[in-house]
Structure 1
Amino acid sequence: MFNYQLHNYTFKNLKEQHMTFEQVFNHILKFMRRNPDGNFKLIIGTDSQVHQGYTSFITGIVIQCEGKGVWACYQKNVIPRKITNLHEKISFETSFTETIFTMFTQERKDAMYEIVLPYVDKGATFTIEGHIDIGAGKRNKTRRFINEMVARIESMGAEPKIKPDAFVASSYANRYTK
């Protein structure tokens, strides 16, 4: 049994610390209501960094309105050991992303869809993406895990994205892993 907390349920960004998921969700709804006729993407992705004696995992939640900006926050989890096995590390990253996806219950997703629904005939959209910090390049060591991790994200009802399109994991979350 683990003797450490695997899931930290507080979130933060540059303006706010210690947000609950309910506060995060309310920020997302508020952001969407500003431009209900927009093209929205809810994006979740995780990156990690191995440090001396521990591994830090950052999961980003981003709501993007194409051409109108973003609202974002992140969650930090720490495993108090160096995770050197690449498959284990990528699997943990995907697990943290999946955990956040489960917080977006059908009721919450429906509330998001309801914001854009009246504007669909004017081009409004809402999609959900899961960004995975893996790449398909021949020299990329993570490419052998693509099918497994993509299937896991698809099973959550999200559209999986890998590098170079996985910017929430490979750029936003990566910034906070250091």
Structure 2
Amino acid sequence: MENVSDQHYRFQNLQEKHMTFNQVFEHIVRFMRSRPTGNYRLIVGTDSQVHSQMTIFITGIVIRNKGKGVWACIRKVIIPRRMLHLYERISYEMSFSEEIVSLFTAERKEQLINIILPYIYQGASFKMEGHIDIGAGSKNKTRAFVEEMVNRMKVIGVEPKIKPNAFVASSYANRYTK
């Protein structure tokens, strides 16, 4: 069943276009149920690219079972102007990630945890990460924003990852911003 707030979210991957968030969530559930003893990481991350007339934001949702496969999709948002200020783009990226993370309500997270719960003592695990396309290196222009963006991710209950460990934002989502 699709709720009203779900209707303005559209996701896609190579197999399917125009998925609602509920459909995305069902894919994640099926993926986890196929191997309930897995080590799962549910990862959300956003990247952006400025083009001549617009700025494209891509948010990736990835469910990864370590060593056993992955299911992923993206959400594309186009802002019809060139966003040239780095802080503004990074802030938008965070907002889009936060928006998608918020769709994983406590009930939905509990549903995912309950899939692996009977298998915890056999090594099953589940965690949720937020990948932020920023880095702390001395030559990285985004280093000034690391503390703020990491704290924003922590506040919403998601483990933050920055470059070089933020592959969903810096690699997967990045591929679709071009």
Per the alignment, residue 79 of structure 2 pairs with 79
Aligned equivalents of 1:165 and 1:27: distance in 2?
A: 25
Matched, 1:95 2:95: yes
Amino acid at match of 1:155: V
Write the mapping of 1:103-114 to structure 2, written as runs, cut at 5 A.
103-114=103-114
Deviation of 1:8 (Å): 5.1
Q: What do the CA deviations read for 1:45-83 (whole angstroms, capped 9, x no partner)? A: 000000011100000000000010100000000111100
Maintained 8 Å contact 1:8/1:76: no
Write the mapping of 1:1-178 to structure 2, written as runs, cut at 5 A.
9-178=9-178
Maintained 8 Å contact 1:8/1:75: no
Where 2:150 maps in the other structure, the secondary structure is helix
Where 1:169 maps in the other structure, the secondary structure is helix
Aligned equivalents of 2:156 and 2:11: distance in 1?
A: 21
Give the aligned length: 172
Q: What do you get for the CA RMSD once the two structures are aligned?
A: 0.9
TM-score by length of 2: 0.95
Q: What do the CA deviations read for 1:118-160 (whole angstroms, capped 9, x no partner)? A: 0001111000000000011110000000000000011111100
Amino acid at match of 2:68: K
Amino acid at match of 1:70: V
Maintained 8 Å contact 1:50/1:83: yes
Q: What do the CA deviations read for 1:79-129 (whole angstroms, capped 9, x no partner)? A: 111001111000000000000001000000000000000000111100000
Maintained 8 Å contact 1:8/1:77: no
Q: Structure 1: which 5+ runs fail to align?
A: 1-6
Amino acid at match of 1:162: I
Where 1:26 maps in the other structure, the secondary structure is helix
Aligned equivalents of 1:174 and 1:155: distance in 2?
A: 25
Where 2:76 maps in the other structure, the secondary structure is strand
Runs of 4+ in 1 over 6 A off after TM superposition: none
Amino acid at match of 2:15: K
Aligned equivalents of 1:22 and 1:89: distance in 2?
A: 28
Where 2:162 maps in the other structure, the secondary structure is strand
Identity of matched residues, %: 62
Aligned equivalents of 2:155 and 2:36: distance in 1?
A: 28
